[in-house]
Amino acid sequence: MRYLLVLGLIGVLSGCSSNEELKPFTSDGCSSFPNGTRAQNSLWLSCCEQHDLAYWQGGTYQQRLEADNELKACVAGVGEPEIAALMLAGVRVGGSPFWPTEFRWGYGWPYLKPYGELSAAEQAQVKKLLPPRQP
């Protein structure tokens, strides 16, 4: 039985190769969280969109931690430090690459894309599909 479990795990992990295709970037804003206050309904939306860009491409655990901390700093920077702390807690729990969600770390890649450095081929796909920078 243990042998079958190990073989199954190897099969799942072998499906996480660099031959996978990256889907074009999409953002759902702040993923099941308000994009701003009632008075300013998109106050921190740009923070979430930048965070989504990092989550879309995925990468290492450290890169995810940095993206999450940048989200917190961005939201705090628009004058909402309490909301920023709440959002950080939410993304740390809900953003794992192991959750089968549309907002997980590495969501641009087919599930399951675990933490790890992107290969040169994967980096080329990211570069090709990066949305144009807004002025």
Q: Residue 132: what pLDDT?
A: 82
Which tokens sit at 59?
Answer: 């990468």
Q: How far apart are alpha carbons 68 and 133 in whole angstroms?
A: 21
Which pLDDT score is estimated for 2? 62
Name residues of the chain where pLDDT drops below 70. 1-19, 134-135
pLDDT score recorded for residue 13: 47
Count of other CB atoms within 10 angstroms of residue 66: 13
Q: What is the pLDDT of residue 8?
A: 45
Two structure tokens written together for 66: 């940095």
Q: What is residue 11's predicted lDDT score, i.e. its pLDDT? A: 45
Query: Exposed, middle or buried: residue 50 (CB in 10 Å: 0-12, 13-18, 19+)?
Result: middle
Per-residue pLDDT tens digits for 72-110? 999 999 999 999 999 999 999 999 999 999 999 999 999
Other Cβ atoms closer than 10 A to 38: 7
Q: What's the pTM?
A: 0.83
What SS3 string covers 64-102? HHHHHHHHHHHHHHCCCHHHHHHHHHHHHHHCCCCCCCC
What pLDDT is stored for residue 124 in this prediction?
97
